[in-house]
Amino acid sequence: MTVRDVLARTTGAAGVAAGLSLLARPGQAVARLAPEYPSDRLWVVRLLGARLIAQHAAVLAAPRPPVLRLAAGIDVLHAATMLPLVRSPRYGRAARISGAVAATYGAWASLA
């Protein structure tokens, strides 16, 4: 197994775990990480969790360069969409956390 494979699988496993957490227990995740996030928007957290599971399961199933590039692109796009929200009193902390995690995943996937 190459370093690229280990990095891809580690990132994939972390993404699936994060997605499962957000999908199964969005209220607990938000309460700990961004308590000001509106509870009536937890469906967005669940949607993000489902996307993370699907995306990172694909990386685990096929950790090849085309899949990794696609996953990196999705994460970089997600991080970019968080930028307009970083100063929001209600959504800022969640946007900063989500954007930073996505940017990190994107960087790791592009290195793999």
User: What confidence score (pLDDT) does residue 111 get?
Assistant: 74
Token code pair at residue 63: 């950790």
Euclidean distance between CA atoms 39 and 90, whole angstroms: 11
User: What confidence score (pLDDT) does residue 107 get?
Assistant: 87
Euclidean distance between CA atoms 18 and 49, whole angstroms: 7
Q: What is the DSSP letter of 38?
A: -
pLDDT of the chain, 112 residues: tens digit per residue:
788 888 888 889 999 999 999 999 999 999 999 999 999 999 999 999 999 999 999 999 999 999 999 999 999 999 999 999 999 999 999 999 999 999 998 888 777 6
User: What confidence score (pLDDT) does residue 11 get?
Assistant: 87
Question: Domain tally for the chain?
Answer: 1
Domain enclosing residue 93, as ranges: 3-111
